[in-house]
Structure 1
């Protein structure tokens, strides 16, 4: 199982690579505002962007949203900085968590 770290707690200079996972959970405020995020959250995978090597894609792995790209993260070489993840995901409507890697089971 992945160990999730609140995005607020990561250092701006922390490096995250393709394969890292981001879990988005709605806040009570987000649910009141009709946020699109379901109560059990959504999981996204940081993956390469084949058409633009300046960015990574954040691709949804959660059922019903799988394959959707929520955003593009600016790359610094072969990683993305914690400051970029914070910029894209910190919000009063959602809470974001990151894992350095995720286990994917193929059934």
Structure 2
């Protein structure tokens, strides 16, 4: 039976966790998980990892004032063009619009 040698030092906890995965999971699942993790790690190291949709929406609307949110909604066709130039998908742009509408509506209720 082949053995695996690691060039990293493991704590006892890490060793037990790794051993549990190796004992309980089929090798195909372990390798698939490692491939995914490796590709994600490479993308992060190269600076190519894209932030998630929620982060994009939060980043666009989190610090906006009521006036800024209202202006963006009133000039929505211009904003779509700007968001598309940033590389956002239409579903993400729609989520941004819904978040802007929530900001405006929450101020209107108060």
- Give the TM interval when normalised to the shorter protein: under 0.3
Structure possessing the higher relative contact order (Cα contacts under 8 Å, 6 or more residues apart)? 1
Bigger proportion of residues as strand? 1
Q: TM-score, normalised by structure 2?
A: 0.19
Q: TM-score, normalised by structure 1?
A: 0.19
Q: Which has the larger radius of gyration?
A: 2
Bigger proportion of residues as helix? 2
